[in-house]
Structure 1
Amino acid sequence: MSASFFRKSALEKLSTPEKLDQLIKVTGPKAWIALTTVALALFTGVVWSFAGTVKTKLDVIGVVLGGEVHEVVATSQGQLVELKVAIGKKVKKGDVIATIKQPELLQQVEDAKAVVSDRKFEMGKLSSYGNQGTHLQGELIKQTRVSIQGEIESEKKKLLFLNNQLESENGLLSKGLITKSEVANTKQQIEASKNTIERLKGQKAETSNQQHDLGFDLQQKVTLQKQRIAEAERNLQFLTERYDNQRNIKSPYDGEVVEVLTDAGVVVGAGTPLFKLKNLYKTKHSQLKGVLYIPSQDGKKIKKGMEALVVPSTVQPQEYGFIKGKVTYVSDFPVTQQGMLTSVKNDQLAKSLLASGTLFEVHVDFESDPESYSGFKWTSAKGPDVFIKEGTSCMGKVTIKEEPPVTIVVPAFKKFFDLY
């Protein structure tokens, strides 16, 4: 009857209160699953802290450049008479794109033309009157030769007479009819006659030389005048070319005008920028690239070959990410405003970038992707459906360091991994 007042399980518990013969459940399957999950997470975290990497990045700003934009400058000083370009106009190398007034050079050219004209006129007179003068002088020399020859013949007759007279006088002297002084006087006359004949022969020979030199002198004068004309013509050619080069400014490049920097009527100097020209041909130097500027305190942290991410200001990075690239150049010294102008070709942009302080210049080449609409590889799967144009401002990130996470959490590990 007592059994009806107590449950069977209660009676069994009273009979064996310790239940040493039965297993006791401490945890259930759900607890084990949770414990395993926590253990795996801790193990993964420890492995990642040693084997993984954390990237340290620098935020930078800059501009997308490309197309080889050149500044065409004046090559001489003067008033700009005409500027033959406009924005969007195609220009070929060697085209005359501007005209600068050069009054002084023009006057020099006119003076040189007058010198050439005068010397050619003198050459005409020399050719005309010189030949006439030579002919007249030749006739005069010829008459002189005839006259000298007549004197020689006359002197020879006189000498023949004196020789005959000497023979007669010698006969008379032997007979004592004349004195010796008379014979001596005749001999003196004979010697004088011989000397006169020799002198006349010398004069005749001199006239022959004069006849020969007469044509030579004229030819020499003609040659000298030709040399003077050639010298004047060379000077005229030099001044004409100089006037043409300084008056007509020619484009040293092919391309399209993207900005006009001056206007007609302005007085310019040598080196004054006239307009900007963009190269339309695709070359290695004309490909788009990022030109970034880093504060001076971080400039030396960036090295060639580092990973860089760049996004133009026209693209939302939250939606499309960044363009992938590599650092290809880092300036050795902080860039000056003049040096920055060489890259960005815009003085206002250069001033605004330098307003924050001294900067280092960094060039980034973009990774290409033919399947992307823009032609570049993005951190997103596709990238935006827009073309990236040069001159667009941009921002970016440059990875300057990769290290295990544990070295960040536990600084002592940096020394262990020799990362100081």
Structure 2
Amino acid sequence: MGQKTNSIFRKTALERIATPEQLNEYIKITNPRVWVLLVGLLALLAGAGFWALFGSIPEVATVNGIAYSPAGPVRSIFAYVSMRTARRLAVGMPAQVSPDYAPRDEYGFISGRVAAIGQKRVSQSDVAADFGELGDYAKKLLPSQGIAVKIEIRLDTSGDGLLWSNPKGEAIQVPSGSDCAIRIITGERRPYQLFF
């Protein structure tokens, strides 16, 4: 009967180092593809760590507003926000305005800044007085609960038009009475702050 060997090593691996002269030769331990994968994973981890420490995530207040100008081109958007939201806002904060008929992902947004934050409570009669014939429509912008205050977003201009983030949006006119979605950047946080 032949002798059966129980070896955990492959026969070809044992044959490579069968003689003492072969012990000094290079032994291939890992495949180069494994090293490439490992370096790629380390680079990905380093990039994620760098972003977590030095990147930023904007904090946004989202409201709906109405473009309004009694005469001439529209240069301001008006909105009504709850007192709670108004406390998070400050004059000068950047805003991004998107008319409802111009999808943001296709046309971009109009840059602007918070120009004024009302200090007194706004009623439906105040809205009607501010907007005249558009008053009934503007009343829909009042928050359903809590005390509302009026804010004004002044739109940035470029030459004789509005400053759009995408050149495709420059051809779009914003008439008085247009419904607009507004994103107000209230601050920025580092990604690691979300976990600590």
Task: Give me the TM-score of the superposition, normalised by structure 2.
Answer: 0.80
Unaligned 5+ segments in structure 1 are: 1-8, 70-278, 281-285, 412-420
Correspondence list, 1:335-346, <5 A = 335-345=122-132, 346=134
User: CA separation in 2, counterparts of 1:24 and 1:14?
Assistant: 9
**Identity percentage over the alignment?**
25
Question: Is 1:400 aligned with 2:186?
Answer: yes
- Distance in 2, matches of 1:339 and 1:331, equals 12
Q: Aligned in 2, Cα 1:36/1:333: closer, same or farther, shift over 3 Å?
A: farther
- 2:88 alignment partner, SS class: coil
Deviation at 1:355, TM superposition (A): 6.0
- Contact persistence 2:80–2:143 (CA under 8 A): no
Give the aligned partner of residue 55 of structure 2: 52
1:290 maps to which residue? 77
Alignment equivalent of 1:352, drawn from 140, 144, 160: 140
Quote the residue 1:376 is aligned against.
Answer: 162
- Return closer, same or farther for 1:20/1:334 CA change in 2, 3 Å cut-off: farther
Provide the aligned length of Structure 1 versus Structure 2.
183
Instruction: Report the Cα offset of residue 40 of structure 1.
Output: 1.6
Q: Distance in 2 between matches of 1:351 and 1:388?
A: 20
Unmatched tracts of structure 2, length 5 or more: 1-11
Q: Secondary structure at the match of 1:300?
A: helix
Which has more radius of gyration? 1
* Contact 1:288 1:390 (8 Å CA) reproduced: no
Q: Deviations over 1:177-203 (max 9, x none)?
A: xxxxxxxxxxxxxxxxxxxxxxxxxxx
Query: What is aligned with 1:39?
Result: 42
Flag the 1:15–1:57 CA change in 2: closer, same or farther, 3 A: closer
Q: For the structure 1 residues 322 and 14, does the alpha-carbon distance in structure 2 shift closer, same or farther, using more than 3 Å as the test?
A: closer
Shift of 1:303: 0.8
Residues 14, 48 of structure 1: CA spacing in aligned structure 2 closer, same or farther, 3 A cutoff? closer
Q: Say whether the 8 Å CA contact 2:65–2:180 is kept in structure 1.
A: yes
State the 4+ residue runs in structure 1 displaced beyond 6 angstroms.
none
* Alignment deviations for residues 70-106 of structure 1 (CA, whole Å, 9 cap, x no partner): xxxxxxxxxxxxxxxxxxxxxxxxxxxxxxxxxxxxx
TM-score, normalisation: structure 1: 0.40
Aligned counterpart for 2:97 among listed residues 297, 302, 310: 310
2-structure distance, mates of 1:56, 1:407: 12
Looking at structure 1, the residues matched to 17 and 153 of structure 2 have their Cα atoms a distance apart, in angstroms, of 85
In structure 2, do the counterparts of structure 1 residues 355 and 293 end up closer, same or farther at CA, with 3 Å as the change threshold? closer
Aligned to 1:365: 154
Q: Distance in 1 between matches of 2:18 and 2:31?
A: 28
**Number of the residue aligned with 2:176:** 390
Counterpart of 1:333 in structure 2 is 120
Asked if the contact 1:58/1:400 (under 8 Å) is kept, the reply is yes
Does the aligned pair in 2 maintain the 1:307–1:327 contact within 8 Å? yes
Deviation at 1:292, TM superposition (A): 1.8
